Amino acid sequence: MSSKGNNNDHGNSRSKILERSVANAHLITTIKDQLKQLEKKEQHLIDKQNQLKKYLSNEHARCSDRRKILEQYDIHLKRDKQVKEGLEKDENDLSKQLSNLERSNDGIINERNYLQLSLNAIDEQIQTIRLNLTSNEEKIEQEYTSRGIQGEIESTDRRIKDITNEIQRLVMSNNRVIEQQSRISLSSQQDTINKMIEQIHKVLQTTINTNSVQQYQDTLQTTKQKLIAIHNQLDMDQSQLTSNFNSIHQLQQQRASLEAVNEAKRYDMQLYKRLEQETPELSFKNRIIQQNLELLFDQKDRIVK
């Protein structure tokens, strides 16, 4: 009994030891996993620490650069402050000088206003004289232009004369064509018809045979060809008449247009002829105006000086 009980106790102890061993092995595995996790976290913290060190190093470098820049700014500010103080002093001195000049400048301003009014009056006179001078010069220039217009009128007259001669030539050509048409339509056709009647009478008076019929048919054919030739000639003459009438109409329109242009130019010539009578007087007036203008410019220069 006692031996059996000991065996049971020994078996229980071994069982417990095995359970503890399994539990310890599991615990060891768990601890190893936790250690791995801790190592990863440690490495992550180390990496982050390195990044922070690098960032702090960069920031220290930036701060050092900024301190240098701030020191330069301080130097510039001190220098600008000195310059500003000097400028303020100069400004005060200039303000005092300006006040003195303003007090002493009242008489000069009054005199300047008087001179400015005089200059304005002189400028108005100069402008008026220039307008008169320009107007007179335009009139004189128009007088010289009239000579060119006279030549244009004569050239247009010659063109009108040429057009009139061409119209007369076309009219005469039309008359000849009309006369020829009358002669062809009355004389030629009448002769042809008379010949046909004569041939028909001959056929009727003779015994009708094959030769007579053939001769009659030949005569008819010849007569038809002559009539066709006459009609063709009449058509050609009619086309020529139509072309001539169109040309005459166009030339008449062109002549009317040229005559209207010449009429306007002749009216301008009448105006220019009146200007020709005024040209010597205008030239004399222009010389007087030019002299007055030079005197006014001299007076203006003296006032400005």
Let me know: does 99 contact 270? Beta carbons within 8 Å: no
Q: For residue 208, which phi and psi values (nearest 5 degrees)?
A: -75, 120
- pTM given for the model: 0.33
d(CA 203, CA 217): 11
- The residue ranges of DSSP E strands in 204-303, in sequence order, are none
Please give the structure tokens belonging to residue 280.
């010597």
**Residue 272 burial by Cβ neighbours in a 10 Å radius (0-12, 13-18, 19+):** buried
Let me know: does 303 contact 119? Beta carbons within 8 Å: yes
d(CA 222, CA 225): 5
Let me know: does 258 contact 156? Beta carbons within 8 Å: yes
- The residue ranges of DSSP E strands in 24-81, in sequence order, are none
The position carrying tokens 């004289």 is 129
Residue 159's Cα: distance from chain center in Å? 40
DSSP state of 206: S
Q: Domain ranges for the chain, please list them.
A: 1-104, 113-304
The position carrying tokens 């010449």 is 262
d(CA 301, CA 305): 6
CATH architecture of 113-304: Orthogonal Bundle (1.10)
Per-residue pLDDT at 144? 46
Per-residue pLDDT in tens (0 to 9) along the chain, 305 residues = 455 555 566 567 777 777 777 887 888 888 888 888 888 888 888 888 888 888 888 888 887 888 888 888 788 888 878 878 877 787 777 777 767 666 655 655 565 555 556 556 655 665 665 676 566 556 545 554 555 666 676 777 777 778 777 777 777 776 776 666 666 555 555 566 556 656 655 655 554 555 655 666 676 677 667 767 766 777 777 777 777 778 778 888 888 887 787 787 777 667 666 655 555 555 566 566 666 666 666 655 665 55
Per-residue pLDDT at 109? 58
d(CA 125, CA 116): 14
Let me know: does 248 contact 115? Beta carbons within 8 Å: no
DSSP state of 191: H
Cβ within 8 Å of residue 166, ≥6 positions away: 247, 251
Cβ within 8 Å of residue 132, ≥6 positions away: 285, 289
DSSP state of 207: P
Residue 138's Cα: distance from chain center in Å? 33
